[in-house]
């Protein structure tokens, strides 16, 4: 359809349409009512046949033609993004006369909107003009009146969220950015600029275009008298997009390609610094996701450098004005930082059946609280920063090289204990990967890792406490969790497992509640007794969040298997709490399903390691010789050294108070947290008394959910005091609320006091260090193992239970490192050791050293004091008869000079780990049983392959006879002598030996099975799949689908007549056929504009302002 | 209050109340346990299956003089051949180390002085399977002496008695069977009090060697009683004592094993009052607390009324209790048993010194008391690896601990195994009664013997001193470990 020759300049409206909703009819009606006389409308319809959920082209075409007969409607096939789709106008429209009106499909302009824009464009001699956007449903609420932008590409929305239109922004003015939802641009300019940047699919295409318009010298002007309603629900319409990542990526691209060459180096440095700052601040303000997106986008620029350079070359010709002039149009400082500093941020809250966006209470108080927490942590652990973490408890040193850690993980051989072919812990690979963070400096990584667990845990509670739209409440939760005596106790005793659980539990809870749809409730809906702010989640999103939970849980499980049952229990308690608080049954069910699903997922992600688990391995060595802390110590989290820990009992007052005071969702959370305290408190007490029918995790682990419960209870109590008590009639509620606040303060005292020491009172001479110092290195005497035996609380590595209060563990002759904290695989070594101990305990022999010889146990060590659980002033009793039994043995000799902290004995009957048996050994090595061993004096055997391990091939001269390996029998060890392979066989019934027929050069190696490699690859694939699902990673494969629009000319503007008078105030002379380029130099000083704060979540380049 | 809160409040309140109720009592702290401390009992024959049995003999003289020597007897109480090893330790180290074989139901004798010549030598015997036991016989012109070997080492040893009157010679034999040196402290207590000679504080006993300490070197000459405490600062050892009585009312020779621990009860099966018989008890309290020791004589006629006897033993003191000197406790003539006990913690060690007429002379035997096992166990079966070589009247003294009547049977172990000895079967023994058993039947001479009873019993043996000497030398048989 070609209209009659108009009197006004021609305008071609380009509307990109994608699966429109019911509102699209209103859009069509609005376009149909435009009073502009020379408007042609081109609808470009995304017709993605691959997506069966989208409306078909035919149905959309029918709707358009029904309301706007004569419109141009074309299919563009697959969705290539808004910018690329809109650029089709350059192909479909011939000629440069007139204007292009770029439109989303969810706008409804007022009838005169286009006419006013065209008039103002002429009047202002602008290159692009845009209207005032108002809310679709409530036109009195402003959405955008032009946008500001800082030099980092950050958008300043100029107006506040929910700001009512009182004509306060109605002056025509230059702006830096106009939203692309309804943007009038000169056709010649748009064509010269090449349209939108085709790389930018969504988010930022308007920013980039307007930036280039500024470079071209044209003005960008907002005309508020033109009003357009805008729906803008891109997040809802396109849940598949990574909105935050796209926004950040395109922002970075725009800055990289459009910043002038002279300013680019400095800008790059600024961007790096700003991003790092953003990361740090984001970590403390629950905005880490945004900061992470910025970081990813910044890093992502590096591989895209060639493309960026090419783009800069493309843009260069249109740089017609000096860079400083464009720079002067941008806002000073950082728009994002400004929003922080002004404490003006918004967040989405769930009301009674609706979601609303409101101001957050405060943005600076959390920063201050977080800074206080970080400073506290730095002060509390200050001695660790220069001296490193002492090897207390599980704080064993990390290996020198991450490669070593990775190699050990990849190997099929687990060297822990006596060693065995067994899947290795996922945590080894994880730690190896984490070493990137500290540039492979493992010592630093250990400190960062341990202290980082505290930060991660506290951050988890901070995120979890986001269910309270109250800054005070969140800070209370933050401080209660951060300053729990559990932290100082775990740090002082080196309980890495407790710290891992401490870090993971709040995150699991947070992710479970999110996967259940529980979001932050709207404070203003308090009166409605809303049990939870629940949102309906699409199945795909629910699955994604469950997978994310599984991923977090899997990482935790990689370090602390006990986290698996803990996560299930936590989910169960969450569900029970929901039901008890009469919350939604669906929420309860989903939380349980999510917890179980996440646990299952985490278990799968830890395959094949999980196949080697035992219940003992999961819960850790049982607390034999029961700790017997008692309820008071348990309730005050006194699992380690913490002075005045009893004051922490005050934290239990808010648990009851919150249930008494709270209403609505605060009550729901109060009940959940109280149940968390109650259930896990019960478990801790019962475990402490040894009353549970199964082995339970140590008290510290069970107390973590209690600490989380206390933190959330404190938050609920304070939130209830703020919303439900304050301002009411005076009664018992006010004093109780005040008492709760005081109790929180009192309860924080022990944790605060624990920071004074600077090392959380960790012992200065840890047992692991003494052990390492008192035992000789592997030498020409051969490699050896050490048998640790005693109270499991004193053993520096996970131990196997022997009998009440006695456990044992085998370590090798190297220094202890973090790998040793994982439970060794169970194997035949246990039987050998148990037999030896049994015989010794029964005084059945005084030659127990010979029984231990095949496992190459050269030293037997009984720890007495570790400076934590057992001190000189408060010693743990040594197991009765243990030292005496060891002293009895004729082949065990006490090590001299002795150390006051341990009893060490050398086994004079020991056999080196790799040994050439002497004649006596050869004679009995094919026999089995303690009766044989006890008669065999193997001490004359000679060491070979000294220093060999499973990671490399060891070579040594061997003689005819038997080469014995002090490891449980394993066929994957191989020995070749002068190239001839020798089959391994069992020795002494349990260990490995090779019968060497003739002397020669032997080569000993361990060969991981092919299955191991498949297992590792499968595990990697599983992790990648989980990451892809959880983080919605999309990888572009193949070429982008071409547009389906045929190469045709729909509209020809070449011969358009001069514009007619469209406004009584203007003559036809006012409509030059060609607008003079470079007329934008009189742009107003943007500094004079007072841009209102912007909510980064809103993104009006606009996150909700872009149509798909 | 919100109605939603009511059920939650009830659950939470009740839950916390229950939690406090459950947790208010401090849980009992289980003491970690590995094994019952060894060495707190007397040497015993192991009835349980064992991998190896290790025996440490306190030492025999082997100086090469005529009539002086010693032997170790390894008895096999099983129907399978025993294989073992023995090591002879001397002050110069290992004197010999050999493998030994003991046929079923048989004994093997190690003639120590045939291997080494040294003032004293100790023998360590290790038996595979553990089904055997070991005793030693010291041979001396002043009389032979038999004593069981220790079945374990210890880091402390005690003697309550010692005697150097009239030139009597007392020698301590300290044996370190380990590969590591032992460092020990010696404490002596005489009537003058306790002393800790500097020369014997922290002195070293070399690995696998014997240290011989003549008590006279301590300056304790003409002492009627010398108690000894040997405490190892480092290592473990075995302590024996050789005593050659030359006057002061005592004559004879004996080598005995020290007590490896202090106890609160010490039992004696043999005891006798009568003309020319002197019986005293040396009670040593090396602890820091004074204790009272009750002395009870058992197996005496019911009509004999004795006062309650309580002996005060001050800390670090040794006291000699002489019943004959106690006017209120005149023992009736004849055999009796005795128990000396304290209500205090295990804190004393007691030896009985019994001197009986022997022909024209006297013969003195000093026997360490027998404690019940830590768990109160008293054996009903006792073993003798070394019995009389010649007919010996009243060679066994048996005391029935129980309050019921019972029987006693003596079995001799021959090639076919144990067999009851005619005439020595089902010998009646009354409740709390002491009986003596004559070993005169040729079937019991030079045999391993087993004394069994239907009741719990203590068994002492009185063996002829040999070399035509009159009189006997007393020593304990070895109780069966039971179970």
CA distance B382 to A110: 117
Average pLDDT value for chain A: 84
**A1043 or A535, which is more confident?**
A535
Cα A559 from Cα A503, distance rounded (Å)? 11
pLDDT at position A936, please? 86
Least confident of A140-144, A240-244, A987-991, A1099-1103: A1099-1103
Q: Shortest CB distance from B20 goes to which of A582, A631, A896?
A: A631
What's the pLDDT band for A1096 if we cut at 50, 70, 90? very low
Residue that has been written with the tokens 């003032």 in this structure: B119
Of B5, B178, B234, the CB nearest to A667: B5
Average pLDDT on A630-646 reads 87
Which residues in A lie closer than 8 A to residue B48 (C-beta atoms)?
A: 842, 844
User: Comparing B383 with A335, which gets the higher pLDDT?
Assistant: B383
A-chain CB neighbours of B11 within 8 Å are: 580, 675, 678
**How far does the CA of residue A990 sit from the closest CA of chain B (Å)?**
18
Mean pLDDT highest for which of A198-202, A1070-1074, B53-57?
Answer: B53-57
pLDDT at A113 over 60: yes
* pLDDT attached to residue B185: 96
Q: Give the pLDDT of residue B410.
A: 96
So what's the pLDDT on residue A335? Answer: 73
- Cβ neighbours of A729 in B, within 8 Å: none
pLDDT by residue for chain B (483 residues), tens digit each? 677 888 888 999 999 999 999 888 776 666 788 987 665 789 999 888 789 999 999 999 999 999 999 999 999 988 999 999 999 999 999 999 999 999 999 999 999 999 999 999 999 999 998 789 999 999 999 999 999 999 999 999 999 999 999 999 999 999 999 999 999 999 999 999 999 989 899 999 999 999 999 988 777 788 999 999 999 998 999 999 999 999 999 999 999 999 999 999 999 999 999 999 999 999 999 999 999 999 999 998 877 777 789 999 999 999 999 988 877 668 899 999 999 999 988 999 999 999 999 988 999 999 999 999 988 899 999 999 999 999 999 999 999 999 999 999 999 999 899 999 999 999 999 999 999 999 999 999 999 999 999 999 999 999 999 888 999 999 999 999 886
Strands A413-414 and A420-421: antiparallel
pLDDT tens for A25-82 read: 999 999 999 999 889 999 998 876 555 556 678 888 888 988 888 888 888 877 788 8
Task: Answer yes or no: do A881 and B35 touch at CB < 8 A.
Answer: yes
How far apart CA A151 and CA A245 sit, in angstroms, is 19
| Chain B hits for A870, Cβ within 8 Å | none
Between A336 and A402, name the one with better pLDDT.
A402
Buried b or exposed e, range A288-301, using 16+ CB within 10 angstroms: bebbbbbbbbbeeb
A367 versus B212: the higher-pLDDT residue is B212
d(C-alpha A547, C-alpha A111), whole Å:
49
Position A53 scores a pLDDT of 57
A885 interfacial to chain B (CB closer than 8 Å):
yes
Q: Does pLDDT of A904 surpass 70?
A: yes
Instruction: Nearest by CB to A580, from B7, B126, B155: name it.
Output: B7
**Which residues of chain B lie closer than 8 angstroms to A686, CB-CB?**
22
pLDDT of residue A525: 62
> What is the predicted pLDDT for the residue at A14?
92
Q: What is the pLDDT of residue A1073?
A: 38
Burial of A4 (0-12, 13-18, 19+ CB in 10 A): exposed
Q: Which region among A371-380, A477-486, A1040-1049 has the lowest average model confidence (pLDDT)?
A: A1040-1049
Of the pLDDT bands very low, low, confident and very high (cuts 50, 70, 90), residue A289 is confident
> Smallest CA–CA separation between A861 and chain B, in Å?
15
Q: How confident is the model at residue A674 (pLDDT cuts 50, 70, 90)?
A: very high
User: A531 and chain B: CB distance < 8 Å anywhere?
Assistant: yes
Chain A nearest C-alpha distance from B409 (Å):
29
Q: Which of B30, B54, B236 sits opposite A626 (nearest CB)?
A: B30
Q: What does the pLDDT read at residue A826?
A: 80
Task: Give the model confidence (pLDDT) of A171-183 as tens digits.
Answer: 889 999 999 999 9
> A670 contacts in B (CB within 8 Å)?
8
Q: Which pLDDT does position A1061 carry in this prediction?
A: 35
- Evaluate whether B316 touches B158 at the Cβ level (below 8 Å): no
Residue A329 has pLDDT above 90, yes or no: no
pLDDT tens by residue, A408-455: 999 999 999 889 999 999 999 999 999 998 999 999 999 999 999 999
Listed in sequence order, the residues at least 6 apart from A597 whose beta carbon sits closer than 8 Å to its beta carbon are A546, A549, A550
CA distance A691 to A688: 8
Mean per-residue pLDDT for A729-749?
87
The distance of Cα A88 from the centroid of its chain, to the nearest Å, equals 40
Contact residues, A window 779-808, toward B, CB-based 8 Å cutoff:
791, 803-806
Set of chain B residues whose Cβ sits within 8 Å of the Cβ of A528: none
Confidence (pLDDT) at A1058? 42
Answer whether A844 sits within 8 Å of B4, measured CB to CB.
Answer: no
Question: What is the pLDDT, as a whole number, of residue A1093?
Answer: 35
CB contacts, 8 Å: B28 with chain A: 628
Contact A132, A224 (CB under 8 A): yes
Q: What is the pLDDT of residue A351?
A: 66
Among A199, A330, A158, A191, which residue's Cα sits nearest to residue A259?
A: A330
Could you tell me the CA-to-CA distances from A706 to A486, B163, B233 in Å, in that order?
10, 70, 49
Which DSSP letter does residue B373 get?
A: P
Q: Which residues of B touch A664 (CB under 8 A)?
A: 2
What is the reported pLDDT for A49? 57
Predicted local confidence at residue A352, as pLDDT: 64
**Distance separating alpha carbons of residues B158 and B148, to the nearest angstrom:** 16
Asked if A662 is an interface residue toward chain B (Cβ–Cβ < 8 A), one would say yes
Instruction: Decide if A649 touches B, using CB distance below 8 A.
Output: no
* In the block, residue with structure tokens 């601990």: B401
Q: A1070-1075: long-range contacts at Cβ-Cβ below 8 A with a sequence spacing of 24 or more?
A: A1070/A122, A1070/A123, A1071/A8, A1071/A9, A1071/A122, A1072/A122, A1073/A97, A1074/A188, A1075/A125, A1075/A127, A1075/A186, A1075/A188, A1075/A189, A1075/A218
The pLDDT value recorded for residue A649 is 93
How close B3 gets to chain A, by Cα (Å)? Answer: 9
Kindly state the average pLDDT of the residues A758-777. Answer: 82
Q: What is the rounded distance in angstroms from the CA atom of residue A748 to the CA atom of residue A653?
A: 13
pLDDT at residue A1087 is higher than 60: no
Identify which of A52-61, A339-348, A557-566, A798-807 has the greatest average pLDDT.
Answer: A557-566
A929–B contact, CB cutoff 8 A: no
Helix pair A653-661, A733-747: axis angle to 10 deg:
150
Residues in B closer than 8 angstroms to A837, CB to CB, are: 34
Tell me which chain A residue has its CA closest to the CA of residue B129: A931
Contacts for A1020 with CB less than 8 Å, ≥ 6 apart: none
Reported as a single tens digit per residue, the pLDDT across A266-287 is 888 988 888 888 777 776 665 6
- Give the one of B12, B16, B33 whose C-beta lies nearest to A803's C-beta: B33
Average pLDDT over residues A1015-1032: 91
Provide the shortest C-alpha distance from residue A842 to chain B (in Å). Answer: 7
Per DSSP, chain A holds a count of helices (H) and strands (E) of 39, 35
Q: How far, in Å, CA of B381 to CA of A175, rounded?
A: 110
A1098: pLDDT strictly greater than 50: no
Q: What number is the ipTM of this complex?
A: 0.87
Find the residue in A nearest to B24 (Cα). A631
Write out pLDDT tens, residues A596-623.
999 999 999 999 999 888 888 788 755 4
How far apart, in whole angstroms, are the C-alpha atoms of residue A546 and residue A623?
Answer: 33
Check: CB of residue B255 under 8 Å from CB of residue B138: yes
Task: Supply the DSSP string of A102-147, one letter for each residue.
Answer: EE-TTEEE-TTHHHHHHHHHHHHT-SEEEEEEEESS-TTBEEES-B
Put simply, whether A841 touches B (Cβ < 8 Å) is yes
């Amino acid at each position: 359809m070609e209209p009659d020759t108009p009197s006004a300049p021609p305008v071609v409206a380009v509307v990109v349409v994608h699966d429109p909703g019911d509102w699209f009819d209103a859009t069509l009606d609005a376009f149909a009512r435009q009073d502009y006389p020379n408007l042609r409308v081109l609808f470009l319809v995304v017709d993605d046949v691959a997506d069966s959920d989208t409306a078909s082209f035919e149905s959309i075409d029918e709707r358009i033609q029904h309301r706007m007969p004569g419109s141009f409607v074309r299919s563009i096939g697959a969705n290539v993004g808004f910018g690329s789709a809109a650029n089709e106008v350059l192909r479909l429209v011939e000629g440069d006369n007139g204007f292009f009106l770029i439109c989303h499909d969810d706008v409804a302009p007022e009838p005169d909107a286009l006419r006013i824009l065209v008039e103002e464009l002429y009047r202002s001699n602008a290159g692009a003009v845009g209207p005032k956007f108002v809310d679709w449903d409530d036109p009195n609420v402003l959405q955008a009146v032009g946008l500001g932008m800082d030099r980092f590409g950050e958008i300043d929305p100029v107006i506040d969220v929910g700001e009512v239109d009182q004509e306060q922004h109605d002056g025509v003015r230059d702006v830096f950015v106009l939203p692309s939802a309804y943007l009038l641009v000169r056709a010649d300019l748009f064509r010269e600029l090449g349209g939108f940047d085709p790389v930018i699919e969504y988010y930022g295409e308007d920013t980039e275009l307007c930036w280039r318009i500024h470079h071209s010298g044209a003005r960008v002007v907002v005309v508020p008298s033109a009003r357009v309603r805008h729906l803008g629900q891109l997040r809802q319409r396109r849940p598949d997009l990574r909105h935050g990542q796209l926004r950040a990526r395109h922002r970075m691209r725009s800055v990289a390609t459009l910043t002038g060459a002279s300013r680019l180096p400095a800008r790059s440095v600024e961007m790096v610094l700003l991003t790092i700052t953003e990361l740090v601040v984001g970590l403390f303000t629950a905005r880490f996701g945004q900061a992470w997106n910025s970081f990813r986008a910044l890093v992502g620029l590096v591989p895209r450098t060639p493309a960026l350079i090419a783009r800069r070359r493309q843009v260069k010709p249109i740089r017609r004005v000096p860079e400083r002039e464009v720079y002067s149009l941008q806002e000073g400082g950082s728009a994002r930082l400004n929003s922080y500093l002004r404490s003006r941020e918004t967040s989405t809250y769930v009301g009674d059946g609706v979601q609303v966006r409101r101001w957050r209470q405060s943005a600076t108080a959390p920063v201050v609280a977080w800074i206080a927490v970080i400073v506290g942590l730095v002060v509390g652990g200050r001695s660790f920063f220069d001296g490193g973490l002492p090897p207390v408890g599980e704080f064993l040193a990390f290996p020198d090289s991450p490669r070593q850690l990775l190699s050990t993980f990849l190997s099929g051989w687990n060297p822990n204990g006596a060693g065995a072919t067994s899947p290795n812990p996922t945590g080894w690979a994880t730690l190896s990967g984490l070493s990137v963070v500290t540039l492979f400096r493992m010592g630093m990584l250990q400190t960062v890792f341990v202290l980082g667990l505290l930060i991660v845990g506290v951050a988890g509670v901070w995120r979890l406490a986001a269910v309270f739209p109250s800054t005070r409440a969140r800070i209370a939760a933050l401080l209660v969790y951060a300053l729990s005596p559990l932290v100082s106790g775990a740090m002082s005793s080196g309980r890495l497992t407790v710290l891992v659980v401490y870090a993971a539990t709040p995150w699991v809870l947070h992710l479970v509640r999110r996967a259940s749809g529980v979001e932050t409730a709207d404070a203003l809906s308090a009166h409605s007794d809303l049990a939870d702010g629940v949102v309906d989640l699409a199945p795909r999103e629910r699955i994604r969040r469950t997978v994310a939970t599984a991923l977090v849980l899997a990482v935790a499980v990689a370090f602390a298997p006990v986290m698996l049952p803990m996560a299930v229990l936590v989910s169960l308690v969450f569900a029970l709490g929901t039901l008890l608080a009469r919350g939604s049954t669906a929420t309860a069910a989903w939380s349980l399903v999510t917890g179980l699903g996440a646990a299952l997922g985490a278990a799968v992600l830890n395959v094949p390691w999980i196949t080697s688990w035992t219940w003992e391995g999961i819960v850790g060595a049982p607390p034999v010789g029961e700790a017997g802390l008692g309820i008071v110590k348990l309730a005050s989290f006194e699992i380690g050294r913490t002075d005045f820990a009893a004051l922490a009992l005050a934290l239990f007052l808010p648990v009851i108070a919150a249930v008494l005071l709270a209403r609505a969702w605060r009550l729901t959370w109060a009940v959940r947290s109280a149940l968390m305290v109650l259930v896990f408190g019960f478990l801790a007490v019962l475990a402490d008394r040894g009353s549970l029918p199964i082995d339970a995790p140590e008290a510290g682990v069970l107390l973590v959910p209690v600490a989380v419960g206390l933190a959330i209870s404190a938050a609920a109590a304070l939130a209830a005091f703020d919303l439900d008590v304050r301002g009411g009639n005076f009664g018992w509620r006010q004093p109780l609320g005040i008492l709760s606040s005081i109790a929180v303060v009192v309860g924080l005292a022990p944790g605060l006091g624990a920071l004074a020491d600077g090392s959380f009172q960790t012992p200065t001479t840890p047992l692991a260090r003494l052990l390492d110092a008192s035992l000789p290195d592997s030498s020409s005497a051969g490699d050896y193992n050490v048998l640790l035996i005693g109270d499991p609380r004193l053993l520096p590595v996970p131990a196997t239970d022997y009998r009440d209060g006695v456990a044992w563990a085998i370590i090798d002759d190297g220094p202890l490192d973090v790998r040793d904290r994982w439970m060794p695989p169970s194997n035949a070594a246990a039987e050998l050791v148990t037999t030896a101990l049994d015989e010794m305990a029964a005084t059945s022999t005084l030659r127990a050293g010979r029984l231990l010889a095949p496992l190459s146990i050269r030293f037997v060590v009984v720890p007495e004091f570790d400076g934590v659980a057992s001190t000189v002033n408060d010693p743990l009793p040594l197991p009765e008869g243990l030292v005496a039994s060891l002293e009895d043995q004729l082949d065990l000799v006490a090590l001299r000079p002795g150390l006051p902290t341990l009893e060490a004995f050398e086994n004079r009957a020991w056999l080196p780990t790799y040994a050439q048996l002497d004649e006596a050994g050869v004679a009995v090595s094919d026999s089995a049983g303690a009766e044989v061993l006890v008669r065999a004096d193997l001490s004359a055997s000679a060491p070979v392959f000294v220093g060999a391990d499973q990671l490399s091939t060891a070579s040594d001269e061997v003689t005819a006879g038997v080469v014995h390996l002090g490891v449980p029998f394993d066929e994957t060890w191989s020995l070749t002598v002068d190239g001839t392979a020798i089959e391994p066989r069992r020795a002494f019934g349990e260990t490995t030996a090779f019968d060497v027929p003739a002397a020669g050069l032997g080569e000993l190696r361990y060969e991981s099975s092919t299955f191991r490699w498949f297992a590792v690859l499968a595990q990697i694939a599983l992790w990648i799949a989980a990451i892809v699902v959880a983080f919605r990673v999309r990888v572009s494969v193949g070429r982008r689908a071409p547009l389906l629009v045929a190469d045709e000319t729909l509209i020809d503007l070449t011969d358009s007549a001069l514009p007619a008078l469209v406004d009584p105030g203007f003559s036809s002379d006012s409509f030059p056929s060609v607008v003079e380029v470079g007329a934008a130099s009189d742009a107003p000083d943007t500094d004079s504009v007072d841009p209102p704060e912007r909510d980064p979540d809103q993104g009006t380049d606009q996150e909700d302002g872009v149509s798909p | 209050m919100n109605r939603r809160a009511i059920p939650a409040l009830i659950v939470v309140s009740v839950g916390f109340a229950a939690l406090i109720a459950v947790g208010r009592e401090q849980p009992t702290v289980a003491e970690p346990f590995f094994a019952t401390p060894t060495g707190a009992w007397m040497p015993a024959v192991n009835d349980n299956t064992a991998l190896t049995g290790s025996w440490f003999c306190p030492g025999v003289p082997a100086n090469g003089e005529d009539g002086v020597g010693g032997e170790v007897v390894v008895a096999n109480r099983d129907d399978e051949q025993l294989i073992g090893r023995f090591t002879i330790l001397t002050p110069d180290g290992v004197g010999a180390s050999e493998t030994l074989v003991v046929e079923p139901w048989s004994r093997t004798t190690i003639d120590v002085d045939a291997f080494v010549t040294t003032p004293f030598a100790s023998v360590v015997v290790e038996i595979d399977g553990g089904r055997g036991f070991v005793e030693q016989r010291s041979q001396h012109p002043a009389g032979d002496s038999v004593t069981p070997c220790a079945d374990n080492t210890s880091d402390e040893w005690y003697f309550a008695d010692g005697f150097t009157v009239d030139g009597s010679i007392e020698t301590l034999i300290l044996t370190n069977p380990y590969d590591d040196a032992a460092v020990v402290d010696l404490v002596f207590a005489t009537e003058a009090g306790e002393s800790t000679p500097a020369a014997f504080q922290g002195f070293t006993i070399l690995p696998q060697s014997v240290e011989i300490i003549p008590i006279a070197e301590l300056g304790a000459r003409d002492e009627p009683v010398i108690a000894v405490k040997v405490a190892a600062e480092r290592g473990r050892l075995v302590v024996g004592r050789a005593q050659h009585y030359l006057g002061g009312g005592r004559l004879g020779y004996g080598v005995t094993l020290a007590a490896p621990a202090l106890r609160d009860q010490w039992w004696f099966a043999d005891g006798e009052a009568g003309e020319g018989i002197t019986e005293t008890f040396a009670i040593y309290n090396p602890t820091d607390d004074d204790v009272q020791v009750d002395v009870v004589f058992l197996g005496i006629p019911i009509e004999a009324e004795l006062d309650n006897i309580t002996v005060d033993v001050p800390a670090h003191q040794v006291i000699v209790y002489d019943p004959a000197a106690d006017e209120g406790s005149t023992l009736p003539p004849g055999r009796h048993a005795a128990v000396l006990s304290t209500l205090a913690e295990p804190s004393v060690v007691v030896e009985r010194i019994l001197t009986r007429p022997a022909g024209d002379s006297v013969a003195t035997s000093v026997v360490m008391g027998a404690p019940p096992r830590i768990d109160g166990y008293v054996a009903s079966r006792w073993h003798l690896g070394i019995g009389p070589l010649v007919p010996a009247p009243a060679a066994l003294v048996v005391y029935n601990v129980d309050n019921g009547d019972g029987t006693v049977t003596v079995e001799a172990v021959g090639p076919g195994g144990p067999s009851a000895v005619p005439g020595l079967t089902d010998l009646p023994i009354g409740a709390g009664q002491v009986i003596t058993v004559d070993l005169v039947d040729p079937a019991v001479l030079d045999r391993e013997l087993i004394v069994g009873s239907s009741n719990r019993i203590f068994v002492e043996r009185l063996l002829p001193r040999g070399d035509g000497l009159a009189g006997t030398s007393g020593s304990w048989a070895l109780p069966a470990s039971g179970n």
